[in-house]
Amino acid sequence: MTRVLVSGATGKLGAPICAAIAGADDLTLAGRVARSLAGGEGFASVAEAVAAAQADLLVDVTAPAVAEAHTLAALAAGIPVVLGTTGLGEDGATRVDAAAKTAGVPVLYAPNFAITAVLMMRFAAEAARILDQCAIVEEHNPAKVDRPSGTALRTADLVEAASGTRPEISSLRIEGVVANQSVIFGAAAQTLELRNVTTSREAFVPGVLLAVRRITTLEPGLHVGLEHVLD
Ligand SMILES: NC(=O)c1ccc[n+]([C@@H]2O[C@H](COP(=O)([O-])OP(=O)(O)OC[C@H]3O[C@@H](n4cnc5c(N)ncnc54)[C@H](OP(=O)(O)O)[C@@H]3O)[C@@H](O)[C@H]2O)c1
């Protein structure tokens, strides 16, 4: 049984993750972190949780302002981290990578756990090898804190690495949307549009479980993208 700590446990993404872990035969919910659970059913922070609960790994789906501190607290206790909170940034990524290497455990930062989004990014990288004009349009609900989305930034990195040109990103915030993205390529008299649509946060849960089950196959340090455990 792998004992999983979930921070952001009461959130729109964290709640279905907790339910899926609790319902899985090979996983057990080691603890739940959210400020609203403090002093009762859970812990206010990861630092508190790792001191009190026995956990084999952490899943963090909280908020950009606190995710790095949560990740570093788990790493200080030698616990691998599946990080789904977006907005880590380059400096944060450098610090997390160093801490993970010092701890000798992996961190998997997945800007998007939806399998269709991961495939969209993979196909975009492939198209960018041939088509160098590209633009990204990402759509999320207005509650999303970071802008552009982690998925858009990751897609732009992949397209730039393949084509040498960084695509423009447009960020739309629309009520009712969960997380959608189009990657649009243009050439003379033709366009190619790759579009990923998610209709509920249930879309992310299978990818989270995949990451939880396979993260320990990764080397110590920071790995960006669910593709590291997909194939
Ligand atoms: N990687 C992906 O595929 C993916 C998909 C969807 C969303 N996300 C990201 O996941 C994150 C969460 O999204 P969501 O929609 O679930 O947000 P949400 O509904 O606002 O939930 C946030 C959760 O984090 C907890 N939290 C917030 N600040 C905290 C703090 N300082 N200390 C401890 N717990 C804290 C909240 O509980 P309390 O308020 O009680 O503390 C709540 O449980 C966001 O960064 C979002 O962009 C990633």
12 given a catalytic annotation:
no
Kindly state whether residues 188 and 208 are assigned to the same domain. no
The letter for the amino acid at 151 is T
Q: What's the count of helices (H) and strands (E) in the chain, helices before strands?
A: 8, 10
Residues 60 and 37 in one domain: yes
Please, which residues have CB within 8 angstroms of residue 21's CB and are 6 or more apart in sequence?
Answer: 4, 6, 27, 28, 29, 209, 212
Per-residue confidence in pLDDT tens, the chain, 231 aa: 999 999 999 999 999 999 999 999 999 999 999 999 988 889 999 999 999 999 999 999 999 999 999 999 999 999 999 999 998 889 999 999 999 999 999 999 999 999 999 999 999 999 999 998 999 999 999 999 899 999 999 999 999 999 999 999 999 999 999 999 999 999 999 999 999 999 999 999 999 999 999 999 999 999 999 999 998
Q: Within this chain, do residues 225 and 146 fall inside the same structural domain, yes or no?
A: no
CATH number, domain containing residue 87: 3.40.50.720
Do 195 and 208 belong together in one domain?
no
Judge if 194 and 207 occupy the same domain.
no
Tally the domains of the chain.
2
- C-alpha of residue 86 to centroid of ligand 1, in Å: 9
Contact of 20 with 2, CB cutoff 8 Å: no
Instruction: State the Cα angle at 124 between 122 and 130, rounded to 5°.
Output: 120
The answer to whether 84 and 189 have CB atoms below 8 angstroms apart is: no
pLDDT at residue 121, rounded to an integer = 96
Q: Which residues sit opposite 107 in a β-bridge? A: 81, 222
What are the structure tokens assigned to 19, written together? 């339910």
* Pair 30, 17 in one domain: yes
69 CA from centroid of ligand 1 (Å):
14
Q: Is the pTM of this model over 0.85?
A: yes
Looking at residue 99, the DSSP 8-state letter turns out to be H
**Per-residue pLDDT at 160:** 97
Separation of alpha carbons 191 and 137, rounded Å: 14
Let me know: does 145 contact 63? Beta carbons within 8 Å. Answer: yes
Residues of the domain holding 141? 115-199
188 and 103 part of one domain = no
Residues with CB under 6 A from ligand 1: 7-14, 33-36, 45, 61-64, 66, 84-86, 110-113, 144, 201, 204
- Of the chain, the end-to-end C-alpha distance in Å amounts to 23
